[in-house]
Each structure stands twice: as C-alpha cells, then as structure tokens.
Amino acid sequence: MSLRVTRAESPEALLEIQRFRYSVYVDEMGKPIAHADHDLQVLADPEDATGQVFACHDDAGLIGTIRLATGPDSPENAHAGLYRLDLFPDVARPQVAFASRFMLRSDHRGGLAAHRLCLAALDAALDADVRLVFCHCAPYLVGYYEQLGFRRYTDNFHDALGYRVPMLLVLRDKAHLEAVRSPLAARIPDPVDEAWGGWFGARFPDFVFPANARLVATDAFYELLNRKLHDDPRKTIPLLRGLEQEEAEAVLRAGTILGCADGDRLLREGELSGEIYLNLSALVGIRHPDRQGWLSLLGPGELIGEMAFLMSSRRTADVTVIRGGEILLLSERTLKRLMDERPGAASKVLFNLAKILCERLASTTRSLVDTARQA
C-alpha cells in the first residue's frame, strides 16, 4: 500500500479535506462544532485560506490531514489567548507556527500515515525558519505528542472539541528530541542552535517532568505516584487492588499525568471519548447539566469516567474540577494492550472495574431509595 502526502493546492483538494474533517469530528466523534456546515457536511476554518493544509492518501483515498500556519499568516488573534502567547514576548512572530486539524481515519491511527503527515508539517516549518510550533490535543494524546518532542507549558482549556492540552515544540532543541527518541530529530539540520538547547527548561521549569510515563524510568514513575497518593498506589487506587507491583507498574506504564486547575471541565455530557481518569490529588464533582448541585464528589484515588469507557458510550454527566491537582489518564488502548501482553493482570483490572461499577450502582440505588422514602 503506497502513501502519498501532498499539499492542498486547489479548491477541490481543500473541499475533500474539509469533508473528511466533518466525517471525523462530527459524524464519528459527535463534536458540537458550531461553525460546521451540517447541510454540506463540511468543516472549514478561516485558517484554511492562509495555512498550509496537507493530505495523506492511500490507494483507496484520503486517510489523514494536518494544517500548519506559519509566520505572518498565523492567526494570532484566534490563538493568542488559548496558547498564552503573552508568555513569549521575546519570540518574533515569524518564528512561531501553529499545527492544527491533525486527524486520521480510524483504521490508520497510530500507523505510518501519522508519521508522514508530521514530517510534512515539520519540513514546512523548517522551510519557514520557525522556532516554536504550538498545538493542542485531547488528554489521551499527550503521551503521543510528548514522544514527538512537544511539551506542556501552561494551563489546559475547554473548547468545542472538549478538554484540551496546549503543547509546544521547540524545533531547534535537538538534544531534547533525541532524548525522547522523537522521529523528528533526524530532520533537524546541523549545526544545532545552542541558544534553544536549555531555553524551555529555564522558561518553564514546572513542566520539565514529562506527563508520559513511558519517557521516565518505571520505578521513578511508581515512586512519584506513591508520593502523590501518600501510600502504595495498589492500596490507594481501587483499580490496582490485588495486583503485584510489577503488574501495577505495567498498568501505569502507559499513564499520562496531567495538572488540572479549579473549574476545568474534564468531561462533558454527550462526549464520546475512550479514556478513564485516576484522581491523584484533585477534588472533582459530577453533575448533570439539567440538574442543580453535585451528584457526587470524588477525591484522590477514585476513578472517573469508567462507565462510558467500558460501554464505549457517550458521557452521561459533566465532570468538573473543584480543587485543582493532578490526574492520571489511562486510555482504552492501554487496557487492550494489557489484555494482549499480560492477560492475568488485565483480568484483575477488569474485575476491579466491575467491582467499582457495582459499588457505584449500589450507592445510587441507596440514594434513590432514601429519596423515595422522604417523598
């Protein structure tokens, strides 16, 4: 199967991509994007007119796309607030680029097409002499972007696509790209610009530690969780009860730690997403948008979003951070890989998930009975 990455140069090529976006974001993921044309089934943006829009085709048709806006063509007004561009007063506008609308057909996610599209965008950024590339992504993709070389640097936000994490790629920091084994590292030309080597660490020291557990030593990551939970994770996290430490480490190995602030909405009623959260140090509340008050409050060690995760269904309530802290995200892919590689550990995790669901159902039933008695 041959893959071809091209830049959309004609209105017809751009329209094909805009229809593809609609099929992914609206038809597949159910995102409530207000400016989408639902009659024509097209998702177009003003940035399409100035950015470079790339498409990846195989022998059967379009399978992926990405857009890069660079220099004077980058939409500063649209992105200044989301990306906190006020944090970069010393970086010239021509040195900044924004990557967006990166998506693939479901049967090509995690494959070679993503790599080819990233390289096309990287080459465009290098040609424009860009130094910083900004993007934002869903929490479950943070690990993927970190392995490309992107890093978190500011607070998360919520938009029409859901809970989003802003990320930054320092394009000339080749030492970092090589340290995380980024596939982009080999593309960065020599000589290396030393001025950018330690720039990120000096500017954003709180974000030097990666969110993706795969980028640090397993024992260091396990010890980090131990400190945050003030106990062995196997005792504090119901999902890990009964697992040997090696098994627990295997589950957590694919985890992603995210900081969240007061008021962040982690999940939104009606969203379709394939991840669960383990609360490490935050306080979160669950509520239905049509009802007053909190349905429940969840503290450190508790699981969030397990029902929709197991049933592959849409979220049935909003989940909002009441007191900021850190959460650990586990994706559907994590458990599927665990089932293949460690079926014994996977069976314990699924058994724990079943127990958690039963406990939640019993609690809800008791609450309903109490309410009926008081009526």
Structure confidence at residue 350 (pLDDT)? 82
Structure confidence at residue 353 (pLDDT)? 79
Q: Are 144 and 16 contained in the same domain?
A: yes
Q: Are 263 and 174 contained in the same domain?
A: no
Residue ending a domain, among 181, 207, 233, is: 207
Q: Are 266 and 158 contained in the same domain?
A: no
Helix (H/G/I), strand (E/B), else coil: 220 = helix
Domain limits for position 185:
4-207
Q: Are 105 and 173 contained in the same domain?
A: yes
Q: What does R_g of the chain's alpha carbons equal in angstroms?
A: 22
Q: Are 105 and 140 contained in the same domain?
A: yes
Q: Are 195 and 223 contained in the same domain?
A: no
Cα–Cα distance, 335 to 2 (Å, whole number): 31
Domain of 87: which CATH number?
3.40.630.30
Cα–Cα distance, 51 to 101 (Å, whole number): 11
Q: Are 180 and 245 contained in the same domain?
A: no
Residue ending a domain, among 182, 207, 232, is: 207
Q: Are 116 and 65 contained in the same domain?
A: yes
Q: Are 163 and 218 contained in the same domain?
A: no
pLDDT in tens, the chain (375 residues): 689 999 999 999 999 999 999 999 888 887 778 889 999 999 999 889 889 999 999 988 999 999 999 865 565 545 667 888 889 888 888 889 999 999 999 888 878 999 999 999 999 999 999 999 999 998 888 888 998 999 999 988 887 777 889 999 999 899 899 988 899 999 888 877 777 888 898 899 888 877 665 565 566 666 666 766 666 777 777 778 888 888 887 777 767 888 888 888 888 777 766 678 888 888 988 888 777 888 788 888 788 877 766 666 677 778 889 998 888 887 777 777 778 888 888 888 888 878 877 776 776 666 666 666 766
Q: Are 182 and 264 contained in the same domain?
A: no
Instruction: Pull the structure tokens for residue 142.
Output: 């943070």
Domain of 333: which CATH number?
2.60.120.10
Residue ending a domain, among 145, 173, 207, is: 207
Burial category of 57 from C-beta neighbours within 10 Å (exposed 0-12, middle 13-18, buried 19 and up): middle
Work out how many domains the chain is built from and give that number.
Answer: 2
Structure confidence at residue 49 (pLDDT)? 87
- How far is CA 71 from its chain centroid? 26
Cα–Cα distance, 101 to 319 (Å, whole number): 25
Q: Are 290 and 227 contained in the same domain?
A: yes
Q: Are 245 and 331 contained in the same domain?
A: yes
